[in-house]
Amino acid sequence: DIQMTQSPSSLSASVGDRVTITCRASQSISSYLNWYQQKPGKAPKNLIYAASTLQSGVPSRFSGSGSGTDFTLTITSLQPEDFATYYCQQSYSILYTFGQGTKLEIK
Amino acid sequence: QAQLVQSGGEVKKPGASVKVSCRASGYAFTSFLISWVRQAPGQGLEWMGWISSYKGTTNNAQKFQGRVTMTTDTSTSTAYMELRSLRSDDTAVYYCARAGAVAGHMDVWGKGTTVTVSS
């Protein structure tokens, strides 16, 4: 199976900050990388697919980049509603896998 | 708009089976995969497997091989996930999600079904 490793596991930031979350795959996954946001008690929400394509309705302060094994999710100008847990997920293999998650907390 | 409605929470004893349903509406059911993801209390997301709503083809994480069965009923646009030989560590929220067959991202999610395994 392809292993997905996110860093950091947790992150403290302030409203207005720019933050970057990294996701690394154990082998090349081309651009088959998706990002999700999850708030407590809620289902995950797809933010970005195919590494850099913004899902419809997602604010433009979210962006994704990368290909091969290294990927980043960047949030510019953090808003109060952005404090949540973020997951990456690969869909290169028919056996999908998620990263372990990055919890973004208010400083 | 596209929507997935899941069945209600379940409480099961160890060794029992559970079958969770996921009814789709607002889109062409057979044009997408249905993926199943679970989340144990306080833990991350764990992908369990997916089923092609059109062909009925399935792929499961090795961890669940032999214990999980995924099916669909195209006449009612409903997907099912059955997990057998339940253990306490199967206690989790189980989500179904719509996934594109090409990009594989899960863009529509059910609200989740809580399955509690307890003696």
Q: Is the peptide bond before A8 cis (omega within 30 degrees of 0)?
A: yes
Beta pairing partners, A22:
A7, A72
Contacts of B39 (CB under 8 A, 6+ apart): B45, B46, B92, B93, B95, B112
Nearest Cα residue to B79 out of B103, B61, B54, B101: B54
Residue B109 to residue B112: CA distance in whole angstroms: 8
pLDDT at B12: 98
Residue B28 to residue B30: CA distance in whole angstroms: 6
pLDDT at B68: 98
pLDDT at B53: 87
pLDDT at B27: 96
Total CB pairs under 8 A between chain A and B: 66
* Mean pLDDT, rounded, for B36-43: 98
pLDDT value at B102 more than 90: no
Coil vs helix vs strand at B111: coil
Cβ–Cβ contact B109 with A under 8 A: yes
Q: Write the single-letter amino acid at B39.
A: Q
For residue range A74-99, what is the model confidence (pLDDT) as tens digits?
999 999 999 999 999 999 999 999 99
* Mean pLDDT, rounded, for B98-114: 93
Supply B29's token pair. 């059911």
Q: Which residue has the tokens 């594109």?
A: B100
The verdict on a CB contact (< 8 Å) between A95 and B104 is no
For residue range B51-84, what is the model confidence (pLDDT) as tens digits?
998 888 999 999 999 999 999 999 999 999 999 9
* Mean pLDDT, rounded, for A95-105: 97
How far is the alpha carbon of A18 from chain B, nearest alpha carbon, in Å?
24
Strands A45-49, A53-54: parallel, antiparallel or unpaired by DSSP?
A: antiparallel
Given A38, A45, A98, which is nearest B46 (Cβ)? A98
